[in-house]
Amino acid sequence: MRKASTNTVLVRVAQQQVPEGRRDRVLRRRRLASVLPRRPRGRAPASVVDLRERNAAADGVLIATPEYSNIVLFKLNERVTRDSAEAEARMQLVKDLDKQIHEVRHWDVGWHTFDGFPGTYDWALNSLFDGTEAFMRFLNHPAHQAPIAHWKNHASWVVVDVHV
């Protein structure tokens, strides 16, 4: 969270209110699946099991979320198809950016599901960051610049950045 953010201030005030003899702990979680795939009972990912155990042992839980959303919609150029090996390889570079750049808090990338609707885009990404400063570090990161260099020759895009 950014130093001057509302969420940061809220967490600091809450930490100051912890009764004497109790301890507070701020956990930073990069990724917890919002929708878990079906798994056999009791087979949740380790990060989910850990969080459940901590929550069960806690007297209280305060959750603060990222504050900056970046949404990008891509339209492939006419000579580019989503089925081409190059498009798939470059899409994978984008899909893996969250593993390379630690500022990313949430990362969804995918192809458009339904074909044939006018005005639609071919693929999109939806990402969350702890604030403007974190997003700017991501934006200028070399791992982010490489896919941009490729896609600017193969697609056009629109961007929406929102403080959430």
**Per the structure, how many domains does the chain have?**
2
Which range of residues forms the domain containing residue 136? 68-163
Strands, E assignment, the chain: 68-76, 106-111, 123-129, 155-163
d(CA 88, CA 85): 5
Average pLDDT over residues 23-52: 62
Write the DSSP string, 102-129. Answer: TT-SEEEEEE-S--S-TT--SEEEEEEE
Global confidence as pTM: 0.63
Token pair 């201030």: residue: 9
Are 50 and 82 contained in the same domain? no
85 CB neighbour count, 10 Å cutoff:
7
pLDDT confidence of 62, banded at 50, 70, 90?
confident
1 found inside a domain: no
